[in-house]
Amino acid sequence: MKNLSLSILALLFTAVSSFAQQDAITKYFSQYQDDVNFDVVYISPKMFSMVSKIEIDDMEPEIQEVIASMKGLRILHTDVDAVKYYNEALKKINTSEYELLMTARGDGENIRFMIKDNGDIVEELLMIVGGGNDFAMMSFIGNIDLKKIGKLAKALDIDNLQYLENLNKDSKEKSGAK
Amino acid sequence: MDHNSLNKYWEAETTPQEEQQLMNEHIQTDGSEAAYFKMIHEARQKRSKLSIDDIKAYNQQHAPAHSGPIVLPLHRWIASAAAVLLFIVAATGLWNYSQTMSQEPQMAETFDDPQEAYEELREALAYMSAKFNKTQDEAFSNIKKAGVYADMFK
């Protein structure tokens, strides 16, 4: 009887621990997806499969390769209380789940790259940008080759450092259209 | 020697007084029944020497190790069945709960058109790649600086 009670307790403890370690990023995105201060972009694995099938003549081979290996994209952005949300995100990320890849600070902006890996395979690349006027969190899911990610900017040959501003503008236009 | 009394004794029909009298008579003789009555007499004497403390000490010494309540086998079986049932119900409940919890909250798809999704993805990748390179450059620069400082302190 005592053993049985211990087994039940152990089962409960295991279950509670596993729930506590749930995907913090998903929870974080879900928390703010309906918040008007946030721009949210979500591209599902199904949409990725559709994107990889469409015929685009001028698609760069580098991006084609990266898209083929990706399964999901989540973007969360706000230009309100950027530092507050940046710090909050760092606190909520389960550090046992994500490994810090690199970090940079400059021009009033903090950038953190974190990965979730399974051996040699990077399954998720998470970028958190905070400070100044913007807070952004981007999560790329799939089999990610970090070398290819670095080469993309050059291959695409587009100045995209204003991307977050554009994202904000697009989002406002969309909500205005509604 | 009163044989009638002896027969009555063997028939278990004597009173305690008669029995005591019979015993007193026989223990002083060497007759065939003497040994038996002597043994009974000695045993009774020994027993009469026992005090209540002796009895308590004896009881304590021979007390069973577990003096908990006596559980009937049927009750034990019912308790075990209830525990197993509880375990199964708890495990099933936990499994269902874990299945519900493990399903990631669904986010709404932002784009209906794959072409639009591609455009957004392209820009997002370019942005991230630029930030990735910037962070990487800064990290390399910091590593170089650390090397210089390390050389200074050599």
pLDDT score of A66? 86
Q: What pLDDT score was predicted for residue B67? A: 59
pLDDT tens digit sequence for B9-42: 888 888 988 888 888 888 888 877 888 888 888 8
Residue A22, both tokens: 């749930």
pTM above 0.80, yes or no: no
B69-91: burial string, b at 16+ Cβ within 10 Å, e else: eeeeeeeeeeeeeeeeeeeeeee
* Rounded CA separation A15/A3 (Å): 18
The amino acid at A11: L
User: How far is it, in rounded angstroms, from Cα A100 to Cα A94?
Assistant: 11
Nearest-by-Cβ selection for A42 from B107, B115, B123: B107
Residues 6+ apart with CB under 8 A from B14: B5, B8, B22
User: B54-68, B79-93, B118-132 — which one is most confidently predicted on average?
Assistant: B79-93
Picking from B132, B137, B143 by the largest number of A CB atoms within 10 A of its own CB, the best residue to mutate is B132
Listed in sequence order, the residues at least 6 apart from B115 whose beta carbon sits closer than 8 Å to its beta carbon are A54, A56
Q: Which residue has the higher pLDDT, B49 or A34?
A: A34
**How would residue A146 be classed by pLDDT, with cut points 50, 70 and 90?**
confident
Q: What share of chain A is helix, strand, coil (3-state, %, to 5)?
A: 45, 30, 20
Residue A92's pLDDT band (boundaries 50, 70, 90)? confident
Q: Which of B86, B109, B122 sits opposite A63 (nearest CB)?
A: B122
DSSP string, A73-103: EEEEEESSSHHHHHHHHHHHS-TTT-EEEEE
Contact criterion met (CB below 8 Å) for B145 and A168:
no
User: Inter-chain contact A51–B121, Cβ cutoff 8 Å?
Assistant: yes
- CA atoms within a 13 Å half-sphere pointing along the CA-CB vector of A56: 19
Which of A50, A51, A116, A157 to mutate against chain B (most B CBs within 10 Å)? Answer: A51
**Is pLDDT above 70 for A104?**
yes
Query: How many Å apart are CA A129 and CA A150, to the nearest integer?
Result: 17
Average pLDDT across chain A, whole number: 78
List, for residues B74-121, the tens digit of each pLDDT value.
888 999 999 999 999 999 988 888 777 666 556 778 888 888 898 888
> What is the nearest CA distance from B65 to chain A, expressed in angstroms?
19
Closest residue in chain A to residue B138, using alpha carbons only: A104
Cβ-based contacts of A127 with chain B (< 8 Å): 128, 131-132
Per-residue pLDDT, A20: 46
Query: What ipTM was reported for this prediction?
Result: 0.75
HEC string for A43-59: ECHHHHHHHHHCCCCCC
Report which DSSP code applies to B32: T
Q: Phi, psi at residue B13, to the nearest 5°?
A: -115, 0
